[in-house]
A and B are shown apart, each in its own frame.
Chain A
Amino acid sequence: MVSWPLEILKAIGLAAVIFTFLAVVAAMFGVLLERKIGGWIQSRLGPKHVGPQGLFQTLADTLKLLQKEHIQPRAADRAIFNAAPLIVAVAGLMSWVVIPFGTLGERVLVVRDLNIGIVFFAGMASMTVIGILAGGWSSNNKYSLLGGLRSASQMVSYELPLGMALVAVAMEAGTLSTVGIVRAQDGWFGSFVFRQFPAFVIFLIAATAEVNRVPFDLPEAESELVAGYFSEYTGMRFALFQLGEYGEMFAMAAMTATLFFGGWKGPILPPLVWFLLKMYVVVFFLMWVRWTYPRYRLDQLLNLSWKVLLPAGLVWILITGYRITF
Chain B
Amino acid sequence: MGQLAAFIVLSIVTLAAAVVVVGSGNIVRSALSLIPTFLGITGIYILLQAEFVAGIQVLIYAGAITVLILFVIMLTEHGSGVRFRQVNEQVPLGMIVAGALAAFLIATFVTTAWPTSSGALPQYTASGVGTTFMTNMVLVFEATSLVLLVALIGAIVIARRER
Given the interface contacts A134-B32, A176-B126, does A159 sit within 8 Å of B63 by beta carbon? yes
Interface size on A, as a range, is 20 to 34
**B81 nearest CB neighbor, chain A only:** A140
Of the stretches A18-26, A53-61, A115-123, the one at the interface is A115-123
Which residues of B (35-93) have their CB < 8 Å from a CB of A?
35, 51-52, 54-56, 58-59, 62-64, 66-68, 70-71, 74-75, 80
B11 within 8 A of A: no
Judge if B2 is at the interface, Cβ distance under 8 Å. Answer: yes
Given the contacts A126-B63, A149-B74, A77 and B28 also touching, CB distance less than 8 Å: yes
**Within 8 Å CB of B28, what residues of A?**
77, 80, 137-138
Within 8 A of B (CB), among A135-186: 137-138, 145, 148-149, 152-153, 155-156, 159, 163, 176
Residues of B within 8 A of A119 (CB): 52, 55-56, 59, 126
Q: Is the interface of A mostly helix, strand, loop or mixed?
A: helix
Residue of B nearest to A155 (CB): B67
Q: How far is the CA of A152 from the CA of B29 in the complex (A)?
A: 17
Q: Name the prevailing secondary structure of the B interface residues.
A: helix
CA–CA, A155 to B68, complex, Å? 11
In the bound complex, residues from chain A placing their C-beta under 8 Å from that of B59 are 119, 122-123, 126, 163
Taking a contact as CB atoms under 8 Å apart, the answer to whether A4 and B64 are in contact is no
- Whether the pair B75, A149 counts as a contact (CB closer than 8 A) is yes
B9 CB, nearest partner CB in chain A, Å: 11
Query: Which partner residue on chain B sits nearest A116 by CB separation?
Result: B55
Question: Contact partner of B32 among A116, A123, A130, CB < 8 A?
Answer: A130
Bound state CA distance, A103 and B141, in angstroms? 41
